[in-house]
Amino acid sequence: MLDNNWHTVAKNDDASASDTSSHVKVKLPANASATHYIVVRDYWQSPMTFTVELKGGSADFVSGCATEKATA
pLDDT on residue 56: 75
Q: Tell me if 10 sits within 8 A of 26, measured CB to CB.
A: yes
Residue 26's domain comprises 1-14+22-53
10-residue averages of pLDDT along the chain (72 residues) = 90 88 82 80 88 76 60 56
pTM: 0.63
- Report yes or no on 3 lying in a domain: yes
- The string of DSSP codes covering the chain is -B-TTS-B----S-SBTTB-S-----PPPTTS-S--B-----TT------------PPP--STT--------
- Report yes or no on 4 lying in a domain: yes
> Looking at the 3D structure of the chain, how many domains does it have?
1
pLDDT on residue 25: 87
- Report yes or no on 61 lying in a domain: no
- Report yes or no on 70 lying in a domain: no
- Report yes or no on 7 lying in a domain: yes
